[in-house]
């Protein structure tokens, strides 16, 4: 969930009890340094990672083409 750009940190907290700081620590310990740096750069610029900053038009946590049927 943390790797996905559209999943807000609040959803991760609701499902797993991990706040943003805990998610960052978890990602840091489980990713290679370069992968972690790329993820942090992506997440830092995403408004969709925080519900308060997220557009009200976005009502889903994933891209419609992500799960093809």
Which tens digit of pLDDT belongs to each residue from 51-61? Answer: 666 566 656 55
* In a domain? residue 61: no
- Asked if 13 and 5 touch (Cβ cutoff 8 Å), the reply is no
Whole-model pTM: value is: 0.66
* In a domain? residue 65: no
* In a domain? residue 24: yes
* In a domain? residue 20: yes
* In a domain? residue 16: yes
DSSP 3-state of 57 = coil
For the chain, count helices (H), then strands (E).
3, 0
Write out pLDDT tens, residues 4-34. Answer: 877 888 888 888 999 989 999 999 999 999 9
* In a domain? residue 56: no
When divided into structural domains, the chain yields a total of 1
* In a domain? residue 27: yes
* In a domain? residue 17: yes
What is the residue range of 27's domain? 9-49
């Amino acid at each position: 969930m943390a790797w996905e750009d559209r999943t807000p940190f609040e959803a991760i907290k609701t499902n797993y009890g991990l706040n943003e700081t805990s998610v960052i620590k978890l990602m840091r310990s489980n990713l290679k340094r370069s992968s972690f740096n790329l993820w942090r750069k992506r997440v830092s610029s995403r408004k969709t990672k925080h519900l308060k900053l997220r557009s009200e038009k976005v009502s889903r946590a994933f891209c419609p083409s992500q799960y093809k049927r």
